[in-house]
Every structure is written in structure tokens, then in C-alpha cells.
Chains A and B, each alone.
Chain A
Amino acid sequence: MEKISESVKKKDHDDKIRGSALYVDDHVMDDMLYGKLLHSTKAKAKIINISIPKLPQGYFVVDKNDVTGVNRVHIVEDDTPVYVENTVEYVGDPILMVVGPDFKEVEAILNNIIVTYEEEIPVLDMTKSDTVFFNYNYEKGDIDKALKEADCIFIETFQTGYQEQAYLETQGMIAYPHDGRMTVRGSMQCPYYVYGAVSKALGYEAKDIQIIQDVTGGGFGGKEAFPSILACQVAVAAKKANKPVKVIFGRREDMEFTSKRHPSISTYKVAIKDGKITGMDIDVLFNSGAYTTLSPVVLQRGLICANGVYRIDNLRVVGRAVKINTVPCGAYRGFGAPQTFFAVEMIMDHIAKEIGVDSLEFKEEYIVKQGDSTSTSGKYHFHVPLPEMIDQIDKLADYRTKRKQYINQAGRYRKGIGMSLFFHGCGFTGSGERDFIKAVAKIKKNSDDTVEILVSNSDIGQGLKTTFSKIVGDTLGIPYEQVLINNPDTDLVPDSGPTVASRSLMTVGELLRRASEKLKKEWKAGEVQVIEEHFVEPDFIIPFNLDKFKGDAYPTYSWGVNAIEVEVDTLTAETKILGAWGSFDVGVPIDMNIIQGQMQGGFLQGIGYSSMEQMSSNDKGMIRNNSFSDYIIPTAVDVPNLVTEIINNPYSHGPYGAKGAGELPLVGAAPAYVEAMENALGADLNKIPFTTEDTMNVLQGVHK
């Protein structure tokens, strides 16, 4: 193990385990008011009237009329309202906020507000949407020729459902005005995203906005863009009140009305000639919900991954993110990749079965190698360690043997094992890092020779405070304890970009390493020194052009192999997970325990995504399962010990060889799980979550 990988005690361990870490709801300010949002109960309607009861002294209502800047939350585009104008577009669209000194009274007032709607017919089925928010296409080779010359064309459609992040700490913000400025603090991943959005909504100059990330109880992407919306709402309320205002979402509110993973429908047409794949024609549809939010970027990533880890020379990928009148979907660990990796892994598995070849043997023939062209005609510049990772997992799980053994079982319990091969493109898609983010990182040496890290990336549990400190400390040759890092405050840190896309360690970590190298050379004991580093795109990158959808979508890739073994009880259709093994290539782990924690946590979220995490809206556009008792995430007794391993494959342009690690472990769980279910049930499956009821349908021979 590399020295950098040796685990240390996490910077945030003590406060959190002692219960003294302060999350946003733990902060109480003098004169603070409490707010609660009134959400639309209709999926599509005009608001005709809002009848507000007589309000007691100190209580008031905040709505679109109180927005002093632009009534839009800047995310990628600017269509999300801070407070709705005259129409509501989904059940949950925020109409107004009630604010006052006693929270119970605020709730009581809220319950007595009557909104009169003129209902319109909502569109709730993504296949029936009439509004395409985003549309991308790309091609390489000659797919039409391949289809024409094919012996047969394999066509199949795959569906994936919602996934709710279910962070243990719900969304929350406090805003307070002071000295002509507005400070917003709370649970978030991207302080500078919130900064930009709040300044636009208030109409304040950027210098009059301060955003502080509080200790954040989980994010997983659910706190990438959504906090900007809540922050704008709370800031507007605080400005009206001229007092601090705190809003903390209830669990049901959070589950029903905040952003989730995009459901998808993908149709693959695969040309087969002489038993070989000659081309793929792929159509991908993502359910964006009512507003655009992050859909363009999620769709981009999903499309880039559409042909998986396979070398497909004749390729066409067409993708759309469409509007329907349901909750806007956004970022969730994997960000579009889990959807298309599920589809491509399953179709490879089905084609193999059709041809009469073992699934893994079939897939292995097409795995890309270093030097191959990517889906978007970029290049795999670095070693692709999939073959050795497959061997590693095969040894750990005894995959190949079990896979053969489990074909054609009888008896009450049926076992199955499945394997998936996947990657995660490291960092922001395309040229975003170079053209939009333009990350700046700083380190500051104090006169007592402690060194403070100044970046806007947020530790949301994934250990950034620790890993950043290790990089700086190790490079400088000073003890870990001498490196300091606080939660980002935009008054104090530069914009080093958002905590998303598995970019923080690889991109910002590298900036910190370079800054540390400089400081080491220029170190003057006892003096205050500040070193600043700006992002420079590595020169091996083939620039990505979004219009043409061509080039290196990512500088490099993190690779993954998962195997999952299941046992189905044919009496009850319940599935027990007997084993789950994951091999993950993260370059070099900056801290082994932290990386293990990321792998195990992500893997389990992926397992939940495949099986028990089912969420849907009814014919009125309402999400019915909006609580922990109805939206089922795994408990400690639902899985065995997850076995996670890394493979050593240093990335030349990452700090100490590190690459993106946070999202990778979730991406491949679903196809591994569903392949295992296919092995156990002897049927072809094409949807996730694949639930107990779905299993029973197959067992009863009612397979749809």
C-alpha cells in the first residue's frame, strides 16, 4: 500500500462522534423566525386565488411579490421559479412560505391557507411528453450500414425508476441579513452555486452575499442544486423579515418534493453479423420532471456511457430529457450513468444468451483497451484494468463456477450470480472544468506555520477535509495535525468548483498538491504566505465540443467490476443477498478507510436502487411513498458484509495518482443484481428496481 493510502483519524471524527458537530438545525440565532413552504397539491394548474387567514402579530407570508431580484433560481438554465408565478407545474411546486416565531403556529397557519386552483391536465408519462428540454445526438462509424448488413438486429427496451437520495439529514437553510448583506448557511454541496443563485434572486451584488456550508448530513447529489432553490426562498424571506429565518424540511416533505434520480427508458438496436456485434443504435429518454435543473448534464453523461465499456465502432446515440408534471429530477451519485450502464450490461447479457455464449465470455471480447476510441471519439488515454479486475472478482466470488452451476435449478431456493463491468468518467463532463468552473484553490501558511486549506469543496461525509489535509501535509512534509481546514465560507475561500462529478480529489486535490509543492519551495518559517493555483486542462486531452458531442468527455475513467450473488425464496419471492463483491479502480486511494467507506456506501445504495427502492407517482402526480416506512432503503440486516477491493492503477494527472472515487461504486450494482436474478429465475429481465412483486410475476409465469 502506498504511504498516502495509510488511514488516519478523520478531521471531523471527534465533533461528529461526540455529538457536538453543529448541523444547520442545531444553530439557533437570536430573534430567529421559522419558515415552512406551502407546496402545490396539483400537478398542473393555474392559481386562481390564495386565501390567507388573518395572521397573528409577527407572522407573515412570503411569495413571488417579495422577490427583490429575479424570481428565478439559476442552476444551468433559469426556469425554476423561487416562488411560483401564476401556474404550478408539479405536486410540490413552492407557492409561498409562512414565517413566524413559533413553528407550530406557522404550521397551523399553513394548514388554514386555501389555494384555489384551476386544474389542467398534467402529463405524467414521459413517453407522452410534448416538451423536449434537451436533445443530444452523436455518432461514429456507419451505423446505418451496420444495421443494413446485419444478420439480425437485437432490439430491447430497458426501464429504470426514481431513486431518492435519502440522506439522513433533510434539506435545511438559515438566512440572516446584516450590514446590507445577506448570509445563508446550511446543508449543501456547492456554496458557490448557492452564492450565484441567491445574488440573482435578491438582486444583490455578489460582494453582499455570504454563503457558509454547515456540517452536512449526507448529499449524494441531492444537495448539489436543490439547496440553491431553498436558499433563495429563505433569503427572500429573511430580507422581508429583516431577521434570521430558518427552514428545515420534514422527511416526508423532503422525500416528496426534492430532486431525485431521473427515471429512464432506453431502447437498444444491436446489429449482429456472424455472431459478432457490428453496431449499436441507442435511444435514451430521461424524465426531467417539471423544470430543467441539472437535466442537460445528467443526460450528457448518460449518453456518453450508453455503450458501456465496449468497443463499438458503429454507434449512434440519441437522447432526450423531457418535461412532465412531476418533481424535477437532478443529481444523484452516478448522474445518468447508472441508467445506461444498466441497459447496456443487460443487453450484452441477453445477446450472449441468444447467441448461446456465456455472458462474461461474450462481454470480454469487446472490452476497450488503452488507446481505443471512446463513444464520443475521444481516447482511452490510460490503462484499462478490467481484465485483472474481472479475475480478482472471479477469485473472490467464485463467479464463473457459480454462474454455470446455477443454470436450471429446482427446489424452493434458487441461487444466482451476476457480474457487471462499468466505468465512471472522472470529473465534470466535457469542457466544463476548463470553460465554466475555472477552479481556483488556495493554501495559506499562518505565522505559526500551520497551513490552512482554502477551497469551496464541501465535506459531506466523504472525507474531503481529511484527504485534502493528507495531500497538503504529505506534500509539504508537515504533520497532518498542522494542516487546517474549515467548512467553506465564500467570504474566505475562492471558488474551486462544486463538490460533484467525483472531481474534488482528482481536480482540486491536484491543485492543492501543486500549491503545496510551490509553498514547500518558497517556505519561509514564521511568515504568512498565500499560494494560489488555477486549473489547467491537461494537455493530452482532446477538447470536447458539446455541439458536435465529440472529443474527450473526461480526462480519464475509473473502472469497476461488481458481482452479486442472490438466493430467491420461490414461496415468497423474497431475495436474499448472499454476497456482494466490488473491485474499484480509483487510481490510488488517498486514504484506504475512506475509500473503503465510499465503495461500501455506494455499493449498498446501488443494491437498494436495483431491488427495494421503489418510488412512483400516482395518476394525480403525487408520490405516494414519501416516508422511510414506504420508501425502503437497506438496514444493517438486509445485506451481508460487502467485500470491496481496489486495484492499483495510478493516474498520472491526479494527486498521488488518485482519480474520481465517490460515484463509481454505485454505477454497476444494478446490472450485477439483475443478472444474478436472471441466473436464479431463468428469465430475461429489463427493469429496475426489480422488486419482490416482479420476481413473483416471473415465478408465476406472468412475465411482462
Chain B
Amino acid sequence: MVNFYKPTKLKEVLDILSKEVVTPYAGGTDLMIDPDENASYLFINKVQEMKNIVEDKEYIRIGAACTYTDIIENKLIPEVLKEAVSQIAAPAIRNLGTVGGNICNGSPKADSALIFFAADSKLRIVSSRGEKVIPIIDFYLGRKKLALEKDELLVEILMNKNGLNNYYYKKVGARKALAISRVSFVGIINTAGDKIIDCRTAFGAVSDVIIRREKIDAIFIGKTFEEAKALKDKYLAAYEQEIIPIRGRVSAEYRKTVCMNLLRDFLESNGI
């Protein structure tokens, strides 16, 4: 028996999730492409607790049911996320699609998820049994496999407020709008004096899961630019090993080449 639910409070949502077999429906732009006639939808886009964008001392807290347009129009959102999200699909899709849906689709091509990965964002996942806050990198267990129980819901994304200004972002698709990413890359570097104090990168659309390698990025942390230049080959070689594109419509060789080109350009544009 197919049912439909339209809760307005988070508590109601969690209650339903704990009792019924439902499909959470926020924007619908993934679900409605090939819908399951027998799915019971839990419409959550009127749940205000999931649509706020607020900041506290550490984080910008983004409600999972915020649409891409909400993200683009909000003053609190870092530029790097706005840039990535504004290149998703087209205006009509951005007015419906949500960051929560983008993440929970589990695809390595998710454009907003790429930024959340690079920013080491955390996800607040809630159920009627309680809540957990986990790093986004721990949320993805494999291709389209998520650390999400049937009664759990992604409710909020906690994104670091600071240190995201000096970014390099590139989305490569088949055209300039309505394009699913073939390769996406984000790189962020922060300096203090003549030292690199932070380096973070992520590669999307190439592997089963977005590629984030903190340990490799850490090669540059604490180093001066001169030292970093000397370590550049080691850094690139390490990524050369890690980036193993899976088969797709576009060849693995193409995507690998683009990844390495963008990575090199990111370094060079930062003086490394």
C-alpha cells in the first residue's frame, strides 16, 4: 500500500522513518527521473528545521533540505560552495535540488559533495533513536553505499566557516549547462607568513567515491614555498597512484589526464 507523508516538524519525520518504509523526498530531481511507482514518499521540503542556514562559532550549519538556489543566495555560504553549486544543471533544477539529496544520492559526481569533502565537513544524521555527527568522508562506504540506516535522515551539514577563501575550482562536463561532471576538482591553500598552513584537495566524478587524501595533502603543511617546490614531484606522484578512474562514458585516460593537469595548475597558480 502506497502512502504519502507531509510532515512539517522534524520529530514527525523521524517518527515516520522509524515506523514505515518510506523514501525521503526533498527536491525530487534525482528521484523523479526513474520513479518507483510503489514508493511511499516522505515529503520533507516543508520541514523548517532542515531548511535553515545559520552560523555558530565554528561552523556554517546548512539544512539538508536547502535547495541549490538557497545556497547561492545566502550571504553566509562560502564562495567556493556557491561557485560549485551554481554550475549544477540549470536554474530550474537548482530551484528544486537540495544539498542533502546531492549527498545522499551517493554519487561521486555530486558537485556540492565535492566541496563538503574538501572542507572536511561533518554530517548531522538523526533518527528517533538519537543523532550522530560524522565526517562526510566516513559517510561514503563505496559506490552509492552510504552509512545511513533506513530510519536515519541527513538533517544538517556542518561546514567550516574559515579558511576556504583561496580556492581553485573546476568542473569539466560535456557542455556548460545541464552537464553531469566528467571531472571535478577543488583545491584550497592557506598560508601564514611564508608557510603553508593548510592544503586540501578533492577530485570528483573519477572514482567510486570522491577522492580526498588528507595524508597526501599534508605533505605541504608546515612547509615554506621553497620546501614545497622541492616536494612537488613527490606530491604529484602520490596522486598519480591514487587516482584510478573507473570506466565511464568518457575514457579513464582522459579523466586521469585532466585530474593531474588541474592539480598541477592548482599548485602552480599558488606559486608551487
Question: Chain A interface (Cβ within 8 Å of chain B)?
Answer: 412, 570-574, 612, 624-625, 628-630, 632, 634-638, 692-693, 696, 700
Contact A625 B254 (CB under 8 A): no
- Distance between A302 CB and nearest chain B CB, rounded to angstroms: 28
Q: How far is the CA of A693 from the CA of B176 in the complex (A)?
A: 16
Q: B164-193 CB contact bits vs A (8 Å, 1 = yes)?
A: 000000101011111110010000000000
Q: Is B172 touching A638 in the complex (CB atoms < 8 A)?
A: no
- Closest residue on chain B to residue A633 by CB atoms: B175
The interface of chain B, by Cβ under 8 A from chain A, is 90, 170, 172, 174-180, 183, 249-251, 253-254, 257-258, 261-262, 265
- Which of A625, A635, A693 sits near B177, CB closer than 8 Å? A635
Task: Give the residues in chain B near A629, CB-CB below 8 Å.
Answer: 178, 180
| Chain B residue contacts of A574, Cβ below 8 A | 172
Contact A571 B175 (CB under 8 A): no
> Distance in Å from the Cβ of A361 to the closest Cβ of chain B?
35
Complex contact A638–B177 (CB within 8 A): yes
User: If A693-B251, A696-B257 touch, does A571 touch B262 (CB 8 Å cutoff)?
Assistant: yes
Contact call B176/A637, Cβ cutoff below 8 A: yes
One of B180, B250, B261 near A571 (C-beta < 8 A)? B261
Please tell me if the beta carbons of A693 and B175 are within 8 angstroms of each other in the complex.
no
Residues of A within 8 Å of B170, CB to CB, are: 572
A573 touches B258 (CB 8 A): yes
Identify the 3 closest CB pairs spanning chains A and B, nearest first.
A571-B261, A635-B177, A637-B176
Q: Which residues of B contact A634 (CB under 8 A)?
A: 175
The answer for the CA separation of A612 and B250 in the assembled complex, in Å, is 12
Report the minimal beta-carbon distance from A227 to chain B, rounded to whole angstroms.
28
| A635/B176 in contact, CB under 8 A | yes
Q: Given A693-B250, A696-B257, A700-B257, A612–B177 Cβ distance below 8 Å?
A: no
Taken together as a complex, chains A and B put the C-alpha atoms of A572 and B174 apart, in Å, by 11
The CA of A635 and the CA of B178, in the complex, are separated in Å by 8
CB distance from B48 to the nearest CB of A (A): 33
Residue of A572, A624, A632 near B183 (CB, 8 A) is: A572
Cβ–Cβ contact A630 & B249, under 8 A: yes
Q: Given known contacts A629-B180, A696-B254, what 7 new A-B pairs fall within 8 Å (CB)? A: A571-B265, A572-B262, A612-B174, A634-B175, A637-B177, A638-B176, A696-B257
Minimum C-beta distance from A608 to chain B (A): 10
Question: A-B contact count, CB below 8 Å?
Answer: 49
With a CB–CB cut-off of 8 A, which chain B residues contact A628? 178
Q: How far is the CA of A693 from the CA of B256 in the complex (A)?
A: 12
Nearest neighbor of A629 in chain B, beta-carbon distance: B180
Q: CB-CB < 8 A to B90: which residues of A?
A: 635
Q: For the complex, what is the distance from the CA of A629 to the CA of B182, rounded to whole Å?
A: 12
Q: A87–B33 Cα gap in the complex (Å)?
A: 33
| Alpha-carbon gap, A692 to B254, bound state (A) | 9
A572-B183, A572-B261, A625-B249 given as contacts; is B254 within 8 A of A632 (CB)?
no
Choose among B175, B251, B258 the residue that contacts A635 (Cβ–Cβ < 8 A).
B175
Question: What are 10 A-to-B residue pairs whose CB atoms are below 8 Å?
Answer: A571-B258, A572-B262, A632-B179, A635-B175, A635-B176, A638-B176, A638-B177, A693-B250, A696-B257, A700-B257
Q: Which residues of B contact A638 (CB under 8 A)?
A: 175-177
* Cβ of A411 to closest chain B Cβ, rounded Å: 12
Contact B176 A572 (CB under 8 A): no
CA distance A628 to B254 in the complex (A): 22
A460 to B143, CA, bound (A): 45
Say which residue of A570, A573, A636, A637 sits within 8 Å of B254 (CB atoms).
Answer: A573
A-side contacts of B265, CB under 8 Å: 412, 571
Closest to B176 in A: A637
Closest residue of A by beta carbon distance from B178? A635
- Asked if B258 contacts A612 (CB within 8 A), the reply is no
* CB-CB nearest in chain B for A632: B174
Contacts of B180 in A (CB 8 A): 629
With a CB–CB cut-off of 8 A, which chain B residues contact A625?
249
Among B176, B250, B265: residue with most chain A CB under 10 A: B176
Most chain B CB within a 10 A radius of its CB, from A624, A629, A700:
A629
Closest to A608 in B: B175
**A574 shortest CB reach to chain B, Å:** 6
Closest partner residue, chain B, to A628 (CB atom): B178
Contact of A572 among B172, B179, B249, B253 (CB under 8 A): B172
- CB < 8 Å neighbour of A693 from B178, B179, B254, B262: B254
B175 CB contacts on chain A under 8 angstroms: 612, 632, 634-635, 638
Residue ID in chain B nearest A104 by CB atoms: B37
**CA A632 – CA B170 in complex, angstroms?**
20
**Highest count of chain B CB atoms <10 Å: which of A412, A624, A635:** A635
**Chain B nearest CB, measured from A529 CB (Å):** 52
B255 to chain A, nearest CB (A): 10
Most B C-beta atoms less than 10 A away, residue of A412, A612, A632, A693: A693
Complex CA gap A612/B179 in Å reads 12
CB contacts (< 8 Å) of B177 on chain A: these are 635-638
**B258 — nearest CB in chain A belongs to which residue?**
A572
CA separation between A448 and B244, bound complex, in Å?
A: 76
Which residues of A sit under 8 angstroms from B258, Cβ to Cβ?
571-573, 696
Query: Which B residues touch A412, using CB under 8 A?
Result: 265
CB-CB under 8 A from A573, the residues of chain B are 254, 258
The residues of A that contact B179 with a CB separation of less than 8 Å are: 632
Whole-angstrom CA separation of A570 from B264 in the bound complex? 13
Per the bound structure, the CA–CA distance linking A635 and B91 in Å amounts to 13
- Most B-side CB within 10 Å, residue of A571, A612, A638: A571
Enumerate chain A residues within 8 angstroms of B174, measured Cβ to Cβ. Answer: 612, 632, 692
A544 to chain B, nearest CB (A): 42
B174, B180, B183, B262: which has the most chain A beta carbons within 10 Å? B174
Contacts of B178 in A (CB 8 A): 628-629, 635
What residues on A are CB-neighbors of B249 within 8 Å? Answer: 624-625, 630
In the assembled complex, the Cα of A414 lies from the Cα of B98 at a distance in Å of 37
Cα distance A108–B258 in the bound complex, in angstroms: 44
When distances are taken between beta carbons in the complex, the residues of chain B under 8 Å from A700 are 257
Q: Chain B contacts of A630 at CB under 8 A?
A: 249
Kindly provide the distance from the CB of A614 to the nearest chain B CB, expressed in whole angstroms: 9
**What is the distance, in angstroms, from B206's C-beta to the closest C-beta of chain A?**
13
Q: Tell me the minimal C-beta distance from A165 to chain B in angstroms.
A: 18
Query: How far, in whole Å, are A693 and B255 apart by their CA atoms in the complex?
Result: 9
A572-B183 Cα distance, complex, nearest whole Å: 9
Question: With A and B bound together, what is the CA distance between A352 and B123 in angstroms?
Answer: 62
CA of A571 to CA of B176 in the docked complex: distance in angstroms? Answer: 16
B176: chain A residues at CB < 8 Å are 635, 637-638
B84 CB → nearest A CB, Å: 16
Which A residue sits closest to B33, measured CB to CB? Answer: A629
Q: How far, in Å, is A617 (CB) from chain B's closest CB?
A: 14
By a CB distance below 8 angstroms, the chain A residues around B254 are 573, 692-693, 696
A612 to B261, CA, bound (A): 22
B37 to chain A: closest residue by CB: A104
What's the minimum C-beta distance from B251 to chain A, rounded to whole angstroms? Answer: 6
Q: Within 8 Å CB of B262, what residues of A?
A: 571-572
Q: How many angstroms between the C-alpha atoms of A638 and B90 in the bound complex?
A: 13
- Taken together as a complex, chains A and B put the C-alpha atoms of A412 and B90 apart, in Å, by 28
Complex Cα gap A629–B33 (Å): 11
Minimum CB–CB distance from B151 to chain A (whole Å) comes to 31
**B263 to chain A: closest CB distance in Å?**
10
| Closest-CB distance, B121 to chain A (whole angstroms) | 26
By beta carbon, the residue of chain B nearest A624 is B249
A168 to chain B, nearest CB (A): 14
Min CB distance A626 to B, Å, is 12
A252 CB → nearest B CB, Å? 11
Residues of B within 8 A of A635 (CB): 90, 175-178
Task: Name the residue of chain A whose CB is nearest to the CB of B171.
Answer: A572
Inter-chain CA distance A254–B129, complex, in Å, is: 49
Minimal beta-carbon separation of A443 from chain B (angstroms): 45
Chain A residue at smallest Cβ distance from B180: A629
For the complex, what is the distance from the CA of A630 to the CA of B175, rounded to whole Å? 11
Complex Cα spacing A634 to B173, Å: 12
Minimum distance in angstroms from B204 CB to a CB of chain A: 14
Chain A CB count within 10 A is highest, among B179, B249, B261, for B261
Please give the distance in Å from A385's CB to the nearest CB on chain B: 35
